Amino acid sequence: MGEDNHTILRPGSLFGAYRVLKRLGKGGMGEVYLVEDEAQHRKYAVKVLDPESHGRDPEFLKRFIRESEFAMRVRHPNLVEVYDAGIDPESGICYLTMEYLPGGSLRDLLAQRVEMSFPGVMTIATDIARALLLVERNGMVHRDVKPDNIMFAADGSAKLTDLGISRFSYGSDVAATQANGMVGTPAYMAPEQMLDAHAVDIRADIYSLGIVMYEMITGHRPTEGQNAMRTLAKAIDGQSFPDVRYLRPDTPVYLARLVSEMTLPAVQERPESAWALLGLLSHPERILRAEDLPPPPPPRPPWYRDRGVLYAATAMILATSALLVALVTVFTRD
């Protein structure tokens, strides 16, 4: 991606012991760069927090580093490894050094608009559910499960990254609350997280993963085109998302049911834990019920949703009809 004039680090410059190669991505809290340890000839990904996002608040930085220490202690095949975290003494920038995954992110894959296979969707979801199981067993909630935070290793396995806004269920938040007070990414957030991000459990992450699965299956988020408040209002009213088969009719029934249950507005109706979710992913037949989901109606043609095209087509039909009537009248008179 192209660099702009507002990068925190400058490609080609030194950041501690690393040479900055390029920026990999940018988020609400900071930026991620590809760097190289020139002595060891090894590449890493370094996330640096925008000083404006935390105002150099000592308490913020202390909590961030404390939570990062958890990420450095744990090792799991489906969690991105974190090697170091701290504050650069020269610049005062808070940073996190992680493994570099050249496979890119799920967001990159979705941007290619390639239709994903159903086994592929299940495999990625299973990998992330395994990561969430470790998160849950350590008393944490991730709170920002989204395609941007799902990366691919060289062997194709999916890894969850960015524990930067996770919350210990027995402690205070780390410091990734956005300026509007909302923690997470609204398009993927569970209703209860929009209302109070400090009182959620792993079922909020399960909801977010359900949104990610919906997007993998259909190429679209169920809330696409809606703002967070409209989505929240629908959830409070008990409205579920449309069946994924509206957009992709060949979706297996068990997969449509699973996505539906993961994204139910009522938190108590979703799978109760990451372990329960893994059970459903491993044995999808368990999700089927006697009162199976009714098959959705056939998808509407693309022009149906475009009122302008619909009105133009109607006008053309009326004009053609009027012309035919006029011609019939002329020939009848003759």
Structure confidence by residue, pLDDT tens digits, 224-281: 766 667 766 776 776 788 899 999 999 999 999 999 999 999 999 999 999 999 999 9
- Do 133 and 77 meet the contact criterion of CB atoms below 8 Å apart? no
Neighbours of 108 (CB within 10 A): 14
pLDDT by residue (tens digit) across 6-21? 788 999 999 998 999 9
Among the ranges given (49-53, 111-115, 315-319), the one the predictor scored with the smallest mean pLDDT: 315-319
CA distances to 81, 201, 285, 316 from 71, in Å = 7, 19, 34, 63
Q: Is the pLDDT of residue 304 over 90?
A: no
Give residue 88's pLDDT band: very low, low, confident or very high (50, 70, 90). Answer: confident
| Active site residues per annotation | 144
Identify the residue whose tokens are 């960015």.
Answer: 162
Averaged over 291-315, what is the pLDDT? 52
Q: Is the pLDDT of residue 28 over 70?
A: no
Architecture of the domain spanning 106-287: Orthogonal Bundle (1.10)
Give residue 23's pLDDT band: very low, low, confident or very high (50, 70, 90). Answer: very high
Averaged over 107-128, what is the pLDDT? 95
CATH 3.20.10.10 at 14-99, yes or no? no
Q: Are strands 82-87 and 94-99 parallel, antiparallel or unpaired?
A: antiparallel
Model pLDDT, residue 121: 97
pLDDT by residue (tens digit) across 130-180? 999 999 998 889 999 999 999 999 999 999 987 754 554 433 343 334 434
Model pLDDT, residue 244: 94
Give residue 307's pLDDT band: very low, low, confident or very high (50, 70, 90). Answer: very low
The predicted model scores a pTM of: 0.78
Among the ranges given (31-45, 133-147, 157-171, 287-301), the one the predictor scored with the smallest mean pLDDT: 287-301
Rounded to whole angstroms, the Cα distance separating 267 from 203 reads: 7
Two tokens, residue 152: 């691919």
pLDDT by residue (tens digit) across 212-230? 999 999 999 887 766 667 7
DSSP H or E segment with residue 168: strand 167-168
C-alpha torsion angle, residues 104, 110, 116, 118 (rounded to 10): 90
- Do 251 and 245 meet the contact criterion of CB atoms below 8 Å apart? yes
Question: Where is pLDDT greater, at 83 or 167?
Answer: 83
Averaged over 310-318, what is the pLDDT? 57
> What's the mean per-residue pLDDT of the chain?
80
